[in-house]
Structure 1
């Protein structure tokens, strides 16, 4: 799904950027241009970043919770 129409950025591209270490809207704007023109995509892009972070935290928590 397209998130940023101004720059043609999809949710998959935002997730890939997050997997590569992008963790803020400022970084996302520098990398992909998201949120730098009209700004309508900012809320959705921010939510995608949050979802990606929470899934990373859950994976780490599950790993740490397993007995040695």
Structure 2
């Protein structure tokens, strides 16, 4: 699903960016350009970043030390 139409950014790209180490919307914006033009996607993008960070944390908890 497209999140940012201005920059053609899809949900899975935001999730991948977070799984690759981005910790907030600002870092995802630097990586993908999301929420840098009209800003209408910022709220949804921020929610996806939050969810992806939770997913990342859950994955890290299950990995052996």
Note whether the superposition's TM-score is higher than 0.5.
yes
Shift of 1:46: 0.6
Structure 1 residue 58, shift from structure 2 partner: 3.2
Q: Are 1:4 and 2:36 counterparts?
A: no
C-alpha deviation, 1:19, in angstroms: 0.7
Q: Specify the alignment match of 2:38 in structure 1.
A: 38
> Which secondary structure does the structure 1 equivalent of 2:7 belong to?
coil
Q: Give 1 or 2 for the bigger CA radius of gyration.
A: 1
Are 1:29 and 2:40 counterparts? no
Instruction: Tell me which stretches of 4 or more aligned residues in structure 1 moved more than 4 Å.
Output: none
Structure 2 unmatched ranges of 5 or more: none
RMSD, matched Cα: 1.4
Task: Calculate the TM-score normalised by the size of structure 1.
Answer: 0.81
TM-score norm. by structure 2 comes to: 0.84
